[in-house]
Chain A
């Protein structure tokens, strides 16, 4: 009989991983990342979309090494423990669209579930609306899951399929090194760089990359997933993943207290707005999309590192979605929702409901 559960996938293992992330994310903020944004998968993929020129919102353009590290760190862990399996073919276009809508929802709230946790741990009361929305969206997802919603089987496939997103991430890293940021310049070679705003706030490249690789490794081993944490509680009354997510929040809160990064309140919170209804609504959309796609945005990066080509497609959907969001005025700012953010959330919800209702199979 093969060894059943390796140490990081045990209850204490995932709690330890949550705790490590809860220390490292606030530290990344201390070392230069934006406030209450030590790690944000949605914001950081949006920043990558910016540096690539997929949108021209000047304040959010930077090649975030954390995202690169998440994929490559996970890949290293998967290979080290013989878990790399190239697989693909489970409704990729649907996953792509779910990624687009997940990003739109997240950008209306101004964060993914990881950032919602960190905002909460930083004292941002607006994050409560976001977390409630996340729970609501995931809950709707569980209704579909109970009704036999599924995107169909993926198949084992050529190794190259599983390598393409990690190689792309490596390519992004090479681009960043070839066209490094130049002080005061908004462009370096082909890459766009923020001169001010959140995109200009970042920890040193090697620190971001190193932390990203470590988190990628640990998250792959522990199967860390912020959406699954809520989903499994609602669907199965299982608290395994939740214990990791809770550890992240609690330890991040303590770390913020120690580092002087805890500022409770609702008004003037960093990179946040106070429109409670749309903080809620944006995350309902994001939560539903993550639930329908089988993983939070971090988990999709870790899966992509393990060779999951369908997760890779979701990641690309999120990056393209960020470009769309900023080009069409869907993303929020500190002042509130963007010009077309509200209709975008409604359209996104309709699209996700359509996908959820129609993609049900009687026998999977």
Chain B
């Protein structure tokens, strides 16, 4: 069961802030982050990696992306 972080339409740095908040909250597991720009996709992926989470997949989702990250 993954947590969902919906960061669509939010300006930087919200997508990363929301993702990091969720990472700190659940510590391990799976998170699906929804973003709608390439910049947010890159920023969230970079942030996840810097917290030791791995990127399971990044899929186009409408005009944006579904980023699936996991740890443990």
Contact = CB atoms under 8 A, between A and B. Distances in A.
Interface of A: 1-2, 4-5, 9, 83, 85, 87, 90, 145-146, 150-156, 223, 228, 231-232, 235-236, 238, 240, 294-295, 310, 364
Interface in B14-48: 14, 16-18, 20, 36-39, 41-43, 45-47
A151 B7 CA distance: 13
Contact count band on B: 20 to 34
Given A85-B36, A145-B17, A4 B42 contact: yes
Nearest to A9: B42
Contact of A153 (B10, B20, B57, B65): B10
B38 A83 contact: yes
Given A1-B58, A2-B65, A223-B39, A364 B46 contact: no
Contacts of A364: 7, 10, 14, 18
Contacts of A2: 58-60, 65
Given A5-B42, A238-B47, A154 B9 contact: yes
Contact of B37 (A85, A145, A235, A238): A85
Interface of B: 7-14, 16-18, 20, 36-39, 41-43, 45-47, 50, 55, 57-60, 63, 65
Given A1-B59, A4-B55, A238 B10 contact: no
Contacts of B16: 236
Nearest to B55: A4
Nearest to A95: B11
Q: Which 7 pairs from chain A and chain B are nearest by CB?
A: A153-B9, A294-B11, A154-B9, A223-B39, A9-B42, A83-B38, A1-B57
Contact of A238 (B14, B46, B60): B46
A294 B43 CA distance: 14
B69 to A, nearest CB: 12
Nearest to A150: B14
A153 B8 CA distance: 7
Contacts of B47: 236, 238
A294 B15 CA distance: 12
Contacts of B18: 364
Contacts of B41: 4
A4 B58 contact: yes
B13 A85 contact: no
A5 B46 CA distance: 10
B4 to A, nearest CB: 12
18 contacts: A1-B59, A2-B59, A4-B58, A9-B42, A83-B37, A85-B36, A90-B10, A145-B17, A146-B17, A153-B9, A154-B10, A154-B11, A223-B43, A238-B50, A294-B11, A294-B13, A364-B7, A364-B10
A232 B59 CA distance: 26
Contacts of A150: 10-11, 14
A223 B43 CA distance: 10
B13 A223 contact: no
Contacts of A240: 46
Nearest to A237: B50
Contacts of B11: 90, 150-151, 154, 294-295, 310
Contacts of B58: 1-2, 4
B20 to A, nearest CB: 7
